[in-house]
């Protein structure tokens, strides 16, 4: 089927609604958000790829899940997954998904609080998974492997996945991590179907030019390589998980109060009043 021409202005405005609803990123947990223009392109690509499928997101601070569901609901896209669930350890993100789904009446968009160090919950098997994990610059991609493992478990070892990771052809570590990730996928009987290179930019203050790719993987026919989902106990996999010396110490990020992310917060400003004319 030919790709649909999309109404770009309507799509950007819809993504703008999603961005307004996004909790502010916690850099120490590797929440670094994708730039808005790239979110439009990414949502279209992923909606097309996962058309008619049940799609699991292993972490999704970027809110690509919401974009895809909302663009389809608004009929800006005519394709997309039939069901989307976001698994994330940040309650602010989980609640932002649920609130958006309720406010916009999107019944097939769900979210669940989950830490990927823990066994994957026993839920109905998904068809596809998507993850934009911590990029593993300081642990040779081990954090990518943990998120990918949970994605593979989400699809019961039979299906497809997109892994969004750093892609720079001059720096050493992104090339090492790409190779490690592909090796890991092969070890799980998933092969690399294709790779769309250097697609996305991020609000990344210390390296604003670092781009990421979409790495598409697919299970080999008849793959049964999956065993029962277990906690990650191998300390080596958890070392420098979120960057050099940053181990995963947090079980969940809890939401303290419900904040309207689209409005200035009371503690950000104060009013200095004009003097009365006769003062």
Ligand X SMILES: C[S@@+](CC[C@H](N)C(=O)[O-])C[C@H]1O[C@@H](n2cnc3c(N)ncnc32)[C@H](O)[C@@H]1O
Among 43, 76, 84, 89, binds ligand X (CB under 6 A): 89
Q: Is 59 in the site for ligand X (CB under 6 A)?
A: yes
Is the distance from CB of 34 to CB of 42 less than 8 angstroms? yes
Pick out residues in 225-264 that bind ligand X (CB under 6 A): 248
Question: How far apart are the C-alpha atoms of 28 and 244, rounded to whole Å?
Answer: 11
Q: Is 43 in the site for ligand X (CB under 6 A)?
A: no
Cα angle, residue 213 at apex, residues 211 and 217 outer, rounded to 5°: 160
Q: Is 115 in the site for ligand X (CB under 6 A)?
A: yes
CA distances from 44 to 12, 50, 52, 104 (A): 11, 10, 14, 19
State which residue has the least CB distance to ligand X. 59
From 37-45, 114-122, 226-234, 254-262, span contacting ligand X (CB under 6 A):
114-122
Crossing angle of helices 64-73 and 91-103, rounded to 10°: 0
Q: Is 66 in the site for ligand X (CB under 6 A)?
A: no
Instruction: Report the residue number, 25 or 156, with the smaller CB distance to ligand X.
Output: 25
Among 22, 40, 62, 215, binds ligand X (CB under 6 A): 62
CA contacts within 13 A on the Cβ side of 159:
25
Among 19, 93, 97, 215, binds ligand X (CB under 6 A): 93
Total of residues contacting ligand X (CB under 6 A): 23
Q: Is 31 in the site for ligand X (CB under 6 A)?
A: yes
87-118: b (≥16 Cβ within 10 Å) or e: bbbbbbbbebbeebbeebebebbbbebbbbbe
Chain residues that interact with ligand X, rule: CB under 6 A: 25, 29-34, 59-62, 88-90, 93, 114-117, 132-134, 248
């Amino acid at each position: 089927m030919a790709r649909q021409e999309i109404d770009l202005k309507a799509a950007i405005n819809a993504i703008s609604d999603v961005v307004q609803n996004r909790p502010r990123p916690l850099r120490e947990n590797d929440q670094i958000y994708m730039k808005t223009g790239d979110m439009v392109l990414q949502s279209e690509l992923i909606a097309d790829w996962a058309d008619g499928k049940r799609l699991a997101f292993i972490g999704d601070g970027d809110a690509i899940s919401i974009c895809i569901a909302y663009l389809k609901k608004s009929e800006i896209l005519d394709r997309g997954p039939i069901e989307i669930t976001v698994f994330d350890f940040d309650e602010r993100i989980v609640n932002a998904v649920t609130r958006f789904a309720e406010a916009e009446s999107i019944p097939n968009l769900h979210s669940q609080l989950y830490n990927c160090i823990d066994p994957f919950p026993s839920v109905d098997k998904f068809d596809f998974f998507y993850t934009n994990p911590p990029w593993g610059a300081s642990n040779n991609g081990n954090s990518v492997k943990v998120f990918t493992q949970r994605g593979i478990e989400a699809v019961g070892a039979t299906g497809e996945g997109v892994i969004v990771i750093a892609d720079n052809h001059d720096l050493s570590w992104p090339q090492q991590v790409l190779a490690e990730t592909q090796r890991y996928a092969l070890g799980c009987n998933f092969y690399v179907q294709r790779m769309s290179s250097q697609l996305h930019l991020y609000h990344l203050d210390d390296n604003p030019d670092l781009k990421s790719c979409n790495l598409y993987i697919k299970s080999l026919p008849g793959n049964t390589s999956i065993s029962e989902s277990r906690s990650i106990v191998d300390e080596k996999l958890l070392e420098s998980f979120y960057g050099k010396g940053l181990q995963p110490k947090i079980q969940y990020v809890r939401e303290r109060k419900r904040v309207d992310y689209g409005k200035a917060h009371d503690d950000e400003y104060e009013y200095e009043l004009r003097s009365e004319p006769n003062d």
